[in-house]
Amino acid sequence: MKNKWLLAVILVLAIGVGLLAWFHGRRVSGMDPASLAVKVQGEEVGTISLEEIAALGGEEFPKVLRSSGKEPRENMYTGVPLSKVLDAVKPGLVTQEVQVSVMASDGYAVSYSGADVLRPEHIYLVWLMDGKPLGSKAEGGMGPLMVITRQDEFGQTWCKYAIEVDIR
C-alpha cells in the first residue's frame, strides 16, 4: 500500500513537471530571440530589438570568461549598460529600490538590485564577442543577447540567451 502511494506521488509530480515545461516552452517559443521584452510587475511595457539596442551606441570592453573545466579566456565584448536599454524602453523604470530579474530562453533567471543595475560600468547587455555576434543557442552561441556583470570576477551572475527583463 505504501509503495502504491509513493508511485502515485511520483507520477503526479512527473506530470506536473512535464506540464510546467510545456507551458514554459510555449511562452518563450513565440518570442523573438533578437529582442528584449521589458515588464514591470509581470506586465509587458515594451520591447526593444537588437538593432535598437545597437543604435544606443555600443561600448567595447575586455572581460575574462571563467568557466568550470575550461581555461580562462579574455574576450572583447560590445554592449551597453542595461540601465540605458531599460531607459530607452521607458524612462525611469529602474530605481535604487527595485529588483531587476533577467530571464533567458532556456528558463535560467538572475536577479539584480536596482542599485547594481544603476552602478556605473557594471551590468551590460552585450551582443558581440570579439567583434562577432554571440549567436543563438541553436548555433552553439551565447545569445543573441547576454547580460554580463563587468565587476563580477567569475561570471555567476551572467545571463546567456537573455529575452526578458522584469522589474519589481
Label each residue of 85-106 as H, E or C. Answer: HHHHHCCCCCCCCCEEEEEECC
- As a whole number, mean pLDDT of residues 70-92 equals 94
Average pLDDT over residues 124-148: 94
Please determine, for residue 22, whether its predicted confidence score (pLDDT) is greater than 70: no
Q: Which of 81, 69, 79, 156 minimizes the C-alpha distance to 123?
A: 81
CA–CA distances in Å: residue 12 to residues 3, 8, 17, 98: 14, 6, 9, 37
pLDDT, residue 40, reads: 97
User: What's the distance, CA 76 to chain centroid?
Assistant: 19
Return the percentage of the chain with pLDDT > 70, whole number: 83
CATH number of the domain at 33-167, out of 3.90.420.10, 2.160.10.10, 3.40.50.300, 3.30.9.10?
3.90.420.10
pLDDT of residue 133: 95
Cell triple for 70: 575550461
pLDDT for residue 1: 66
pLDDT band at residue 70, thresholds of 50, 70 and 90? Answer: confident
Burial of 29 (0-12, 13-18, 19+ CB in 10 A): exposed
- Do 103 and 163 form a contact (C-beta atoms < 8 A)? yes
The three-state (H, E, C) secondary structure of 139-155, written as one string: CCCCECCEEEECCCCCC
Which residues are CB-contacts of 140 (< 8 A; sequence separation ≥ 6)?
Answer: none
Q: Of the given ranges (10-19, 133-142, 155-164), which has the lowest mean pLDDT? A: 10-19
What per-residue confidence (pLDDT) applies to 72? 85
Lowest-pLDDT choice from 38-52, 87-101, 134-148: 134-148
Q: Mean pLDDT throughout 11-28?
A: 56
DSSP state of 136: B
Output the pTM of the full model.
Answer: 0.79
Q: What is the mean pLDDT of the chain?
A: 87
pLDDT of residue 33: 55
* CB of 143 closer than 8 Å to CB of 163: no
